[in-house]
Chains A and B, each alone.
Chain A
Amino acid sequence: MNAADRPRAGQDRAHGTAVRPAVMAHMIPWFPDRERSFTIARALLDAGVGYLEVQFPYSDPTADGPAIQKACADALDAGFRVADGFEYLERLRAHRDVPIFLMSYAGLVYRRGVAEFVRRAADHGVTGLIVPDLPPGSDEGLYEAAQRYAISAVPVLVVTARQARIDAVAAVRPAYIYAALRSGITGRRTVIDSDSLAFLDRLRPIGAELMAGFGVQSAEQVQALAGHVETVVVGSAFVRVVEDVLSRRPAEAARHTDTLYEAVHAVARELVGS
């Protein structure tokens, strides 16, 4: 489904029925290893998530909390390479054709040239790129390259952003905005209150599809955002489900990928609300 085909959160609200936002599920290839990370992706897709945010693991993920950082370290230990990551995206798309947002850090994106990275992402069918440490204004050509290769570079805005910053980000005319619901790093739970909603409504006039995340873990939080955003991003919550399965039932998890599949699927279904 394209951004253009999807109903707008604002429009739904006008009809008085706040439609539950789509879920963008975050996952990390090669966490905990190549095959099981594919099992996790299958579980998420089968549960009906609207988008996948695929994070290419990086050695120094400074904007991520302990859960995602450790998962990235495990993925690197399991042998993840950037070239594998792009192949993996193809495999995901063959399983189900949902839009994929590729998230990573400047460290990987800049290494062989930002434009080259963007071109590879476009070649592998990526819908959008999220690179938190290449923000508009310090983006090393990310936004220009994204336009050239017809994919979306997705800027982040934080709930504490000053209006001048919101305006500067609006000026790059983004198709999507990743709205961080609190300052800090990923992983800690966020209370969605009137401040969060007021922030999201301030972003509405930009006309971008809003993806809200940072500390969203429950169906209630997803519901609380209905009518204010098109998409809710859930990240650390899935990493924790996986960690839980691996630690509590290591022998079982090793034998049956089913255990992992079912645990992730159940949590995703609840969030998706299907």
Chain B
Amino acid sequence: MQATHSVYHNYFGQFGGRYVAEVLRTPLDLLEEEFAEAMEDPGFQREFDTIADQFVGRPTPLLYAENTTREIGGAQLYIKMEGLAHTGAHKINNAVGQALLARRMGKTRIIAETGAGQHGVATAAVCAKLGLECRVYMGEIDIRRQKPNVFWMQMYGAEVVPVTSGSRTLKDAVNEALRDWAHSFPETHYVIGSALGPSPYPDMVREFQSVVGRETRQQVEAAGLEVAALVACVGGGSNAIGFFAPYLDQPEPRLVGVEAGGTGDQPGRHAARMGGLGTPGIVQGYKSLFLLDEDGQVQPTHSISAGLDYPGIGPQLASLGASGRVEFRRARDQQALDAVGRFARNEGVVFALESAHGGAAALQLAAELPPHQAVVVNMSGRGDKDLFIMAGELDRRAWREFLLSEGDRL
């Protein structure tokens, strides 16, 4: 195991590593070197902090969910309002970090994959700001599910390329981006959107997302809270690992990752890799737990949220799950939808459907814990992008009529 730098682990227990075809060896080696140097460079940190302050809108607030807490009668529920970050989700933190790194390496072109579109929108916005060319790969199914984000990416000047291979969702967009990078790396950096993929990506994405955890820690300490648990949804795991990062080396508080329970435990109906449903595998350049069939073929997944239906989990979270430091729960589609409605009515806050999986679990946890303790949920994104899904769920007929009348008007 290499440990050239304290932030570079490569392996996390048995998971992680760099299992890539030879073509990707050179760009990953170079990225590893640059990342390690940048993390030691105060100038790089200052650049990051300036953009975080002026562009991203950091720090994001910590909100006391007072009405919901009263309704539950258990632990105090707090919401880390990461969805208030520019472009609507935590994804911007990583996009800023990697785009700055790309510029440092002299790259002029950025490629990214996106599922929910939040990572794509964040990357497109940062590229506009830094003057980098941007191309985003997005599965055809996700393009339909998250249409508003496609418009925003194009508005920022990015090219959105529909991916029609495989399951036409996030993992296939990752494949397409890897293919692009295999020949474009001399001038192109690939901004992976979650804490997964071959090393150094899982380490790098965690470092750039850990700003969320550091801020939260300061905020709960300033408020004098006794935090019993931190809760975050887990797709690939970037918002969770960033949120948990400052607490990984200590036994408390409880760290709870929430996966997409979908509509059931049968294959193809969920995207829960922990809790016995996933198997060890090597996919897309790293070793972790994946949803695989007996041959090792990647299985189809389902979630109501486009950002949580990835068949693998970041290697560090898989390892933290194995060691027991992070507990995993599942929230079903309907529980996530219910949580969106409840926080909207009670607190005036609309969670993204991804984050609402964390919200649903936090509601349960708060009910299990005493009032002098606090539960903090990371609202990794706000729900604006889910308008088309939520409106249909709320009142299908009225929404359909509206869409048809808009169509006529055009």
Contacts and interface: CB of A to CB of B under 8 A. Distances in A.
Contacts of A165: 22, 25
12 contacts: A62-B178, A107-B282, A107-B283, A110-B280, A111-B296, A133-B19, A133-B282, A138-B18, A157-B22, A158-B23, A160-B26, A183-B185
Interface string B327-354: 0000000000000000000000000000
Interface string B273-302: 000000111111101000010111110000
B19 A60 contact: no
Contacts of B283: 60, 106-107
Contacts of A82: 295-296
Contact of B175 (A62, A106, A182, A183): A62
Nearest to A70: B165
B181 to A, nearest CB: 9
Contacts of B18: 138
A24 interface: no
Interface in B141-175: 165-166, 171-172, 175
Contacts of B213: none
Interface in B3-20: 17-20
A63 interface: yes
A67 to B, nearest CB: 11
A113 B297 CA distance: 14
A73 B19 contact: no
Given A62-B178, A140-B282, A162-B26, 16 more contacts: A59-B297, A59-B298, A60-B175, A62-B21, A82-B296, A108-B295, A108-B296, A110-B282, A110-B287, A135-B25, A138-B19, A140-B19, A157-B22, A158-B23, A183-B185, A185-B183
B118 to A, nearest CB: 23
B298 A133 contact: no
B296 A110 contact: yes
Nearest to A64: B179
A156 B296 contact: no
Nearest to B282: A106
A132 interface: yes
B171 A60 contact: yes
Contacts of A65: 179
A108 B281 CA distance: 9
B31 to A, nearest CB: 15
B38 interface: no
Closest 10 CB pairs of A and B: A111-B296, A184-B183, A106-B282, A132-B21, A63-B21, A108-B296, A59-B298, A59-B297, A82-B295, A158-B22
Interface string A96-122: 000000000011111110000000000
A107 B296 contact: yes
Nearest to A107: B296
A106 B283 CA distance: 7
B182 interface: yes
B22 A180 contact: yes
A111 B166 contact: no
A44 to B, nearest CB: 25
Contacts of B23: 63, 158, 160, 180, 183-185
B284 A60 contact: yes
A69 interface: yes
A63 B294 CA distance: 22
Nearest to B300: A59
Contact of A183 (B183, B282, B285, B294): B183
B297 A156 contact: no
Nearest to A162: B26
B298 A185 contact: no
A31 interface: no
B20 A133 contact: yes
Interface in A31-63: 58-63
B61 to A, nearest CB: 40
Interface in B252-268: none
A112 to B, nearest CB: 8
Nearest to A135: B22
Given A76-B297, A110-B281, A134 B19 contact: yes
A66 interface: yes
Contact of B21 (A59, A108, A133): A133
Contact of B182 (A156, A157, A183): A183
B182 to A, nearest CB: 5
A83 to B, nearest CB: 8
Contact of B22 (A66, A112, A132): A132
Contacts of B26: 160-162
Contacts of B21: 62-63, 132-133, 135, 156
